[in-house]
Amino acid sequence: MTPLSRPFSSLLAAVLLSACAITVDPVQTPNAGLTQQAVFSAGVPQTSLPMVTSGWWRSLGSSELDALIEALATSNPDLAAASLRVLQSELELGTTRAQGRPTVTAGLARTTTSATDFAGDRETKRTVDLSASIRWESDLWGRISSEGDASAARLLATGYDRDALANSLIASVVRTYISIAFDRWQIGATQRIVDSRETSLAIAQDRFGLGVEGTTAGTVSSAEENLAAARADLPDLELSILRNGNALDVLAGRVPNSRSDISGRLPARLPNMAFSTGRPIDLLHRRPDIRAAEARLASANANINVSLADRFPSLTLNGSLRSGGDLDQILDIDNVVASLTADLLLTVFDAGRGSRLVSLRRAEAEELAQSYVATVLAAVAEVEDALAGERLLAERSRLLSARLTAAHEATAIARERYRDGTGTYLTLLDASRSEASAETAFLNVERSRWLNRVDLMLALGGTWSPAVAPARNAREEDV
């Protein structure tokens, strides 16, 4: 060993040992304040009931809806783009992991030279140059493996993002289908109101024609206006169905208005909850958006290790073989030139860039940890809101159902009294309008209950199954 090599070796060893002493603890995944004992305020945590799973829309018993969601799964462009993003992440992971493997290159060159000597003779010489090289970077400090870990975590996050998008799109299909169903139900209710007001108009016209006291031309005009107002609601409902049908076509990856009318068949009543809501902590592994946030935090932690490893020396081995000459010489072992080199590179001074980069990556991870907490808390809030909606909307539905029953009876009594001359048209008009308002309010709250159930299933990350399957039985109506 030369006099210069010993101090250099000692200095390098000291630098390596000091670098090895640098460690950074990963940012831990927060628990977001959730405990094993925590329960939802209005949840059903009983283990005797099944937990939610995938495929929850099938419990609605609509083959039409099943077909729409199958079309969504195979033809929706947003979902296809999300799947391609997953593919890109898979390819990125393969590329990243390939960095830890040797790179081998080979070359073959043929050279032809011609020269003319002083005697005028032309001489042609052909030579062949054959070469091969290999390059390999040693993963001494885990930089390459950490890059692989970060890429693998990004792949997981991308996959969970695709799952979350699929859940959201499926919920959009179900919500739109429910809206169509209730629009058709509303059309049926409106048509009944139209029929009722046509009857009232006929009675008013008969009484006016007979000259019954208290029945004037104004009474007839008022009845005609009341009838026209009811009929005017029908085009709006038809337009809503058309727009929702186009929305379903887009979700299914079809040209809008490219299919026949959607029937919108649903059970006459919303099935009772017959599933376990689980506990808030169950959302951590059930919700794909939470899993995606967790994976992003894992990727950020791996990037901290990458930035830390970049401060360590890199060791690269390079080897080459070369042989040249005539065709009969290139395979001669005596004509082969081989070399092997090792490159050890260490950043001696970077004005603190390396340490700041480590701090930056840690700050990014801490930000993602807070984003994870926000995602978890939002998920719990969504479940709590939907569970509260289950209770309060059911109560509102019960009250509005009683109001609708009373409104039907009041209208029937007012019409009969007007027919026999013991009641006035104004009383009948007020009863008719109150009946229409009660019908609309009841249908709206029922629509809200169905949509809230979809929100609950999406918030829980799975499915629901009614105690008695409602599929195409006597209680199912065309709505």
- Dihedral angle at the C-alpha atoms of 368, 369, 373, 374, nearest 10 degrees? -20
Q: How many CB atoms lie within 10 A of CB 472?
A: 12
Please tell me the predicted confidence (pLDDT) of residue 44: 57
Tell me which DSSP letter residue 475 carries.
T
Query: CB of 222 within 8 A of CB of 255?
Result: no
217 burial class (0-12, 13-18, 19+ CB within 10 angstroms)?
exposed
CB neighbour list of residue 173: distance below 8 Å, 6 or more residues apart: 57, 65, 68, 69, 72, 248, 251, 252
Which residues are registered as beta bridge partners of 110? 128
Q: Which of 138, 136, 148 is nearest to 102 (CA)?
A: 136
Ramachandran assignment for 334, one of left (phi > 0), alpha (psi -120 to 50 degrees), beta (any other): alpha
Q: Taking Cα atoms as reference points, which of 154, 155, 160, 162 lies closest to residue 82?
A: 162
Two tokens at 195? 């029929």
Helix (H, G, I), strand (E, B) or coil at 254: coil
SS3 128: strand
Q: How many angstroms separate the CA atoms of 338 and 323, rounded?
A: 9
* Beta pairing partners, 477: 266
Write out the two tokens for 242: 């058309």
Regions of the chain with pLDDT less than 70: 1-23, 43-54, 116-121, 259-260, 273-274, 325, 327-331, 462-479
- Distance between CA atoms of 219 and 50, rounded to whole angstroms? 60
Cα–Cα distance, 452 to 466 (Å, whole number): 15
User: pLDDT for 401-444, tens place per residue?
Assistant: 999 999 999 999 998 998 888 888 889 889 989 999 999 999 99
Determine contact, residues 186/237, Cβ cutoff 8 Å: yes
Helices 143-209, 217-251: axis angle to 10 degrees equals 160
What b/e readout covers 328-348, taking b as 16+ CB neighbours within 10 angstroms? Answer: eebeeeeeeeeeeeeeeeeee
Q: pTM value?
A: 0.82
Tokens read off for 342: 């090792």
Q: Is 286 within 8 Å of 278 (Cβ atoms)? A: yes
Give the Cα separation of 172 and 53 in Å (integer). 18
Residue 147 and residue 125: Cα distance in Å, rounded? 51
What pLDDT, on a 0 to 100 scale, did the predictor assign at position 393? 95
Give the model's pLDDT for residue 418: 87
| pLDDT score for 15 | 47
Q: Categorise residue 61: left if φ over 0, alpha if ψ from -120 to 50, beta otherwise.
A: left
The pLDDT, as a whole number, for residue 149 is 93
Task: Give the C-alpha separation, 61 to 263, whole Å.
Answer: 13
Task: Check residue 159 and give its pLDDT.
Answer: 94
